[in-house]
Amino acid sequence: MKIRAGYQITYDCPVPTPMILVLRVYPSRERDLVVADHPTFDPPLELSEYHDGFGNRCGRILAPAGKLTMSTEFLINDTGEPDIVAPDAEQHALEELPEDVLVYLLGSRYCETDRLLETAWKLFGNAPKGWKLVQTICDYVHDHLTFGYEHAHPARTAFDAFTEKRGVCRDFAHLAVTLCRCMNIPARYCTGYLGDIGVPLADEPMDFSAWLEVYLGKRWYTFDARHNMPRIGRILMARGRDATDVALVTSFGPCTLKSFSVVTEEVA
Amino acid sequence: MKIRAGYQITYDCPVPTPMILVLRVYPSRERDLVVADHPTFDPPLELSEYHDGFGNRCGRILAPAGKLTMSTEFLINDTGEPDIVAPDAEQHALEELPEDVLVYLLGSRYCETDRLLETAWKLFGNAPKGWKLVQTICDYVHDHLTFGYEHAHPARTAFDAFTEKRGVCRDFAHLAVTLCRCMNIPARYCTGYLGDIGVPLADEPMDFSAWLEVYLGKRWYTFDARHNMPRIGRILMARGRDATDVALVTSFGPCTLKSFSVVTEEVA
Amino acid sequence: MKIRAGYQITYDCPVPTPMILVLRVYPSRERDLVVADHPTFDPPLELSEYHDGFGNRCGRILAPAGKLTMSTEFLINDTGEPDIVAPDAEQHALEELPEDVLVYLLGSRYCETDRLLETAWKLFGNAPKGWKLVQTICDYVHDHLTFGYEHAHPARTAFDAFTEKRGVCRDFAHLAVTLCRCMNIPARYCTGYLGDIGVPLADEPMDFSAWLEVYLGKRWYTFDARHNMPRIGRILMARGRDATDVALVTSFGPCTLKSFSVVTEEVA
Amino acid sequence: MKIRAGYQITYDCPVPTPMILVLRVYPSRERDLVVADHPTFDPPLELSEYHDGFGNRCGRILAPAGKLTMSTEFLINDTGEPDIVAPDAEQHALEELPEDVLVYLLGSRYCETDRLLETAWKLFGNAPKGWKLVQTICDYVHDHLTFGYEHAHPARTAFDAFTEKRGVCRDFAHLAVTLCRCMNIPARYCTGYLGDIGVPLADEPMDFSAWLEVYLGKRWYTFDARHNMPRIGRILMARGRDATDVALVTSFGPCTLKSFSVVTEEVA
């Protein structure tokens, strides 16, 4: 399957403003790109790219005063298969986990494991472990939170979402990540493209999406507490401890988002 | 100068409990060790060591049920010089910062840059930049917070400390780190040994200490918002985004700290 | 498309022998695994896994005295598409290259850039740059070396292969990597599964294969100087500066390879 | 003790030439800098700095056509103590080594472990292990090679040095590194400043020096097969698998070294 995807984002900055961008296809998917994912800027400007400590491909720009439009459109090969389901994937004892996944057990800006630890054990302490535990957590988050774009709030943490019982895909992901970590399952936050391929009645406007990956059975698996079903055609952009690390645009100054559109669709 | 340092820490665990330990001299100081910093355990157990993504030397153990005492005592060469003071160290424009320091501008579990951004700019927006700005921030934190061991609270964030106006060295460091990041100065959290060498009237019990490092003039400099003066004989143990990353002991289960002692003293 | 792949390898060791194994699907392909790639050992033994500095998933074992058989068999989703061809992919000026690719311009154990620099510039100094230059280099290597399993030699370097004019896929890759680096194109060595999917008259026994990746047009592209054509169904296992870094088995003691088989085939 | 150190290096390039520079004090010593180590360029040019995968502070420049002089002079605190001697430091079993040191057991461009393995075991297979083995290797290398600046050769490998029986400090380090790796002791190549502090009859012109670090007793120790005695005042600049990774200047084009001077001296 081939997927066409891209975005067009416009900011308005009162003064020249440095920005960090995390807006590229994750390097592990580069081999599948048929038409390159090259961001373009209007007006043109210099982009300096690098990989951060999570393997994400980041860029730095100095956005000029005034409007800046960033866009890309690419074509990518995809297996066309839904997210893998592996009900037998086992949870690792802590002493068996590879060292580089341990950081995904710790708290982070929007995932306050210390504040949700007791809650997590009360809710899930008697649940079966492994894949089923993660699915139980995702079911819980899916049911506990009410989705709504009007509920988006950039500083909302997992604990906030838990108490307010609402949020957007980012909050679903943060809460599921936090609860998994509390239960000693390494979990990381993911962001990327997710179209409505294979979804009968998709009713949401196109946007980037957030989901999570958990470490079970010696590898990372994808879970999605927002949609709570295997999906086709995820195109990973970035991973991190939480949304802090993978913000699409981190602006060092007060800029305004003027417009935003994302496309992700199967190409016949 | 030679410094003798070490600790003795006893935990009591109801059941066998996995722990991550960050209790070693930071690798950059290993070359100065005259007598090795080898942690010992009573009862003996297996320690598996690794370096985390911040370069810290971490260990993993499975603490047995019952009491566990961890201890070390080492001898280390030191320059005997106080923390460097460099009033001319300049603040970098964001676009000039090396890529690997950018993560130290972002928020983290205990350093909510998003919640303190406005406050920081109101307080320091008109202050001179660079070294003086960091010193101004440390002066502010030093004055704003009341120190007291009775104020220790493991889940207190920088924002909490700011509003409660009190804390321990960890909170002083978190608040200074957060305010520096808000002002676009990369800042990281440090923990280690700090004796009372050269301090006329030291009145505090020995403990590990927390301080910060900021990136100015193409390198990292040490600041200490708690003591707010150059000190002799810091022995760095670990660095991270905040205390989450450098917790001396991260215990995956409910263990009790039974006793704790630290020594750091100049050897004649 | 789904591919079934795996190996069975038997060693005989005179005494217990530590080994480093690089025998797992590369982490970027984990998301495609339908049936897990879990190595098994006969007799059973303890495997300790980690990621090396190249992102490869490595394992450590203590092979017992006597015979040891290692095997896996997994099922993986694949796009079914051949290696991407991008004739317009441009070569970067050195000052534009991301910092983390610079190491792939340097010499390494089997890629003596210093010894082939002059040769490379004589051969290719007037060739067009970018994709075409890499293709010209691969054409040259493909024609210059005579393939033959009887020419396998574990210590043969790119310079040796160049002067002896023969080798196996490993030597084709090393020579192409070295020549690309000499011409200022970052190049890395890859190893993995490569079946004969889509190849009309495959006449070689199944084996692991070696190829290269080069950095052009802001991403890594796959080239294969041995087969010198786009292929379907590569399953990457490991990348590095050369074969040193991705040896399937690095044995710290004199063990004998007793048998070796690899399967890679499309599943109907 | 305070040490004043620096260099002045002049190149002449026929055309504008990209260069990678590894000419900074290693980050672990930054905290000791009293006067900054800021390289200056004549004519002035833009320096872009980064950390490589070994933690070295590297720079990139585009050297203009014509002469370019690079220089620095800094002041650094030092313990004034000689290299640590720890005769009881034990050699680790391979399965006990931390994962991130394993790469320092592998071969590299100038350290052909595969070609010297048999020799190493014949020479040292019966020697005591640990610190004594490394000292035995350094004694051997110190005696086996004849030192002489006229023997400098940029492409000489450890194997070449072994057979030619001569070299400069770089070759002493490469051969000792290689023999240590053959004997299963992780070893890395170091370069930096080394003055003649505490040396009664220093008769060599000032230059940068090369030495090695080996992993014993859970830490890295400094050895110096060239001088073969503990020295005072080493200022580390860079570490790597061998000289390839830490070349002071890697020039992507044919430039000529016109002059070169290094100073390292104790300040009263």
Q: Smallest Cα–Cα separation from A206: which of A64, A2, A8?
A: A8
The confidence score (pLDDT) of residue C198 equals 78
Contacts of A244 in chain B (CB under 8 A): 106-108
| pLDDT higher than threshold 70 for residue C76 | yes
Measured in angstroms, the CA of A79 and the nearest CA of chain B are apart by 32
Percentage of residues of chain C with pLDDT beyond 70? 98
**Taking residues B78-95, what's their average pLDDT?**
96
Tell me whether strands B187-194 and B208-216 are parallel, antiparallel or unpaired.
antiparallel
Contact between chains at D100 and B218 (C-beta distance less than 8 A): no
Which DSSP letter does residue A207 get?
A: -
Nearest CA in chain A to B101: A52
Please write the tens of the pLDDT for every residue from D4-48: 999 999 999 999 999 999 999 999 999 999 999 999 999 999 999
Q: Smallest Cα–Cα separation from B86: which of B131, B128, B127?
A: B131
Measured in angstroms, the CA of D151 and the nearest CA of chain B are apart by 31
The confidence score (pLDDT) of residue A203 equals 62
| Strands of chain D, DSSP E | 2-13, 17-21, 33-35, 40-42, 48-51, 57-63, 66-77, 146-147, 166-167, 187-194, 208-216, 219-223, 234-240, 249-251, 256-267
Contact between chains at D33 and B84 (C-beta distance less than 8 A): yes
Distance of CA D170 to the CA centre of its chain: 7
Contact between chains at A115 and B252 (C-beta distance less than 8 A): no
Q: Any CB–CB contact under 8 A between D45 and chain C? A: no
**Taking residues D147-167, what's their average pLDDT?**
93
Contact between chains at C103 and D52 (C-beta distance less than 8 A): yes
Measured in angstroms, the CA of B188 and the nearest CA of chain D are apart by 14
d(CA C131, CA D96): 45
Structure confidence at residue D136 as a pLDDT band (50, 70, 90): very high
Structure confidence at residue C149 as a pLDDT band (50, 70, 90): confident
Secondary structure (3-state) at D6: strand
Structure confidence at residue A204 as a pLDDT band (50, 70, 90): low
Show which subunits contact D, needing at least 3 CB pairs below 8 angstroms: B, C
Please write the tens of the pLDDT for every residue from A79-119: 999 999 999 999 999 999 999 999 999 999 999 999 999 99
| pLDDT higher than threshold 70 for residue A19 | yes
d(CA C18, CA C21): 10
Contact between chains at C84 and A33 (C-beta distance less than 8 A): yes
Interface of A with B in 148-177 (CB under 8 A): 154-155
Size of interface C-D (CB pairs under 8 A): 75
Measured in angstroms, the CA of C252 and the nearest CA of chain D are apart by 8
Measured in angstroms, the CA of A11 and the nearest CA of chain C are apart by 25
Structure confidence at residue D202 as a pLDDT band (50, 70, 90): low
Residue A30 has its nearest CB partner, among C50, C77, C219, at C219
Q: Smallest Cα–Cα separation from A155: which of A112, A203, A212?
A: A112
Residue C95 has its nearest CB partner, among D62, D102, D103, at D62
The confidence score (pLDDT) of residue C202 equals 61
Tell me whether strands C48-51 and C57-63 are parallel, antiparallel or unpaired.
antiparallel
The confidence score (pLDDT) of residue C165 equals 97
Number of CB atoms found within 10 A of residue C30's CB: 20
| pLDDT higher than threshold 80 for residue A72 | yes
**C92, C183, C216 from C87: Cα distances, Å:** 14, 18, 10
Contact between chains at C107 and D50 (C-beta distance less than 8 A): no
Token code pair at residue C77: 């989703």
| Strands of chain A, DSSP E | 2-13, 17-21, 33-35, 40-42, 48-51, 57-63, 66-77, 146-147, 166-167, 187-194, 208-216, 219-223, 234-240, 249-251, 256-267
Please write the tens of the pLDDT for every residue from A218-263: 999 999 999 999 999 999 999 999 999 999 999 999 899 999 999 9
Measured in angstroms, the CA of C36 and the nearest CA of chain A are apart by 8
Contact between chains at C52 and D95 (C-beta distance less than 8 A): no
Interface of D with B in 207-266 (CB under 8 A): 217-220, 222
Which DSSP letter does residue C158 get?
A: H
Nearest CA in chain A to B99: A50
Contact between chains at D244 and C62 (C-beta distance less than 8 A): no
Residue labelled with tokens 């998709």:
A202
Q: Any CB–CB contact under 8 A between D32 and chain B? A: yes
| pLDDT higher than threshold 70 for residue A31 | yes
pTM of the model: 0.94
Measured in angstroms, the CA of A72 and the nearest CA of chain B are apart by 23
Residue C106 has its nearest CB partner, among D62, D103, D244, at D244
Please write the tens of the pLDDT for every residue from C28-40: 999 999 999 999 9
Contact between chains at B18 and A93 (C-beta distance less than 8 A): yes
d(CA C240, CA A14): 46
Contact between chains at B77 and D77 (C-beta distance less than 8 A): no
Taking the alpha carbons of C166, C171, C175, C176 in that order, is the dihedral positive or negative?
positive
Residue type, A36: A
d(CA B186, CA C204): 56
Measured in angstroms, the CA of B154 and the nearest CA of chain D are apart by 29
**A197, B148, B222, B230, C89 from B204: Cα distances, Å:** 64, 10, 21, 17, 64
Which of B45, B52, B91, B106 is the best mutation test for A, with the most CBs of A within 10 A? B106
Contact between chains at D1 and B79 (C-beta distance less than 8 A): yes
The confidence score (pLDDT) of residue A107 equals 97
The confidence score (pLDDT) of residue D149 equals 86
Contact between chains at D28 and B28 (C-beta distance less than 8 A): yes
The confidence score (pLDDT) of residue B151 equals 84
Residue type, C112: E
Complex-level ipTM: 0.94
Residue D53 has its nearest CB partner, among C103, C154, C244, at C103
Contact C257, C9 (CB under 8 A): yes
The confidence score (pLDDT) of residue B206 equals 77
Please write the tens of the pLDDT for every residue from B226-259: 999 999 999 999 999 999 999 999 999 989 999 9
| pLDDT higher than threshold 90 for residue A150 | no
Interface of C with A in 94-113 (CB under 8 A): 98-100
Structure confidence at residue A205 as a pLDDT band (50, 70, 90): low
Contact between chains at B95 and A62 (C-beta distance less than 8 A): yes
Q: Smallest Cα–Cα separation from D211: which of D166, D171, D157, D245?
A: D171
**Taking residues B75-83, what's their average pLDDT?**
96
Contact between chains at A31 and C220 (C-beta distance less than 8 A): yes
Contact between chains at A106 and B62 (C-beta distance less than 8 A): no
Please write the tens of the pLDDT for every residue from C35-69: 999 999 999 999 999 999 999 999 999 999 999 99
Residue C99 has its nearest CB partner, among A50, A78, A220, at A50
Measured in angstroms, the CA of C108 and the nearest CA of chain D are apart by 4
Contact D111, D181 (CB under 8 A): yes
Residue type, C120: A
Please write the tens of the pLDDT for every residue from C179-234: 999 999 999 999 999 988 878 766 666 789 999 999 999 999 999 999 999 999 99
d(CA B257, CA C3): 53
Residue B94 has its nearest CB partner, among A18, A58, A111, at A18
Contacts of A252 in chain B (CB under 8 A): 94, 105, 184
Q: Any CB–CB contact under 8 A between D84 and chain B? A: yes
